[in-house]
Structure 1
Amino acid sequence: MLKSSFFKYISLVFSFWMMVQVYACQSPKQKPDVQKPAIIEMLYQDTSEATINQLKALLKEDEHLFRWKTHFVVYGKGLDSALDDSLKMRFPEAELKQYDDLFYEFNRSYCTDTTTARDWEHILLTANLVADTTLQNEYLKYHATQFKEWPEVSKGFCNASFQQLLLFKNGRQLMLVISIPKGKTLDELNPKTTQNNPRVNEWNKLMSKYQEGIAGTTKGETWVFFNSIK
């Protein structure tokens, strides 16, 4: 009797296992929808209101438009080839550049207070790396080890309530995204990065030898701010 019950139990377990395997084959695991931040830059001579309205019409609600001179920039998460194709079709004479090489990312997980603001404002800036490839590699290495070797820098970002700070690269050109709580300004928050924190000044001075302004900047100008287009 005991032997018969044991075999019935084994049979039930095996049947259940087979059902699980069949279901697993029929229902493959869904891949997580990870949307990475990215930037598309469009160089276009026509900066009229008509151009701006055409660009706005192509964007999703959570995609943001910026401009500096003839440089238009779209920043968002999960920017796909459909937007790139639409821009090429609508603006065939424009030069498009993709920035999906995100080589540095600060977020609130590096802070003692990991709380994030509900709504953010995004500030975009751009600059070039210098032409010397040895210096370019040094710059990238400094950023790869910054959290370990220069923890005071991320501490400064935490003190300033920065929500995130992203650095993208396409060739020599850099794109910097600073996200702050909505309703605050960078002029208000940025001084807090260096308050009682001289190492941040040292970092900024060190980084200055690796960076220069893009075409169209004035002499001595390095990072330029894009204007947000609402």
Structure 2
Amino acid sequence: MKKYCLAVDLVDDAALIAEYENWHKAGNAWPEITQSIRDAGISNMEIYRLANRMFMIMEVDDTFSFERKAAMDAANPKVQEWEQLMWKFQQSMPFAKPGEKWLLMDKIFQL
């Protein structure tokens, strides 16, 4: 099993952050989205928030690759609809390339 950590910022608006969190409560994410996550080889995903900074931990199996997931997402209209909806709440970090959201973090320490 491999683990990846990613980060993105939310629009710094309390009402939008509350709405974003509501979309991510158990049972509120669209079933097609959670299925697409599993189909991509992600066995566990956790998202944490501090103010408007989001942090995601993904545990993946050997079938996972970011390229494969991107291709699967691009071919899935429901994922594209979800991603468009999430852009209402998310904003790119200042150093992100145009269109980038979740950015891969570098692991700098392990005990």
What is the CA distance between 1:229 and its match in structure 2?
5.3
Q: Distance in 2 between matches of 1:221 and 1:184?
A: 20
Match of residue 37 from structure 1: none
In structure 2, stretches of 5+ residues that fail to align are none
Match of residue 91 from structure 2: 212
Q: Which AA in structure 2 matches 1:199?
A: K
In structure 1, stretches of 5+ residues that fail to align are 1-119
Q: Distance in 1 between matches of 2:91 and 2:40?
A: 25
- Secondary structure of the 1:192 match is helix
Q: Is the 8 A contact 1:173 1:214 kept in 2?
A: no
> Larger C-alpha radius of gyration, 1 or 2?
1
Q: Distance in 2 between matches of 1:202 and 1:168?
A: 23
Q: Which AA in structure 2 matches 1:223?
A: W
- Identical aligned residues as a percent: 23
4+ aligned runs moved over 6 Å, structure 1: none
Q: Is the 8 A contact 2:40 2:64 kept in 1?
A: no
- Secondary structure of the 1:128 match is strand
- Secondary structure of the 1:169 match is strand
Q: Which AA in structure 2 matches 1:150?
A: W
Structure-to-structure mapping, 1:123-134, within 5 angstroms = 123-134=4-15
Q: Distance in 2 between matches of 1:223 and 1:149?
A: 18
Q: Let me know the Cα RMSD of the aligned residues.
A: 2.5
Match of residue 180 from structure 1: 60
Higher helix share: 1
TM-score scaled by length of structure 2: 0.79
Count the aligned residue pairs.
109
Q: Distance in 1 between matches of 2:30 and 2:73?
A: 13
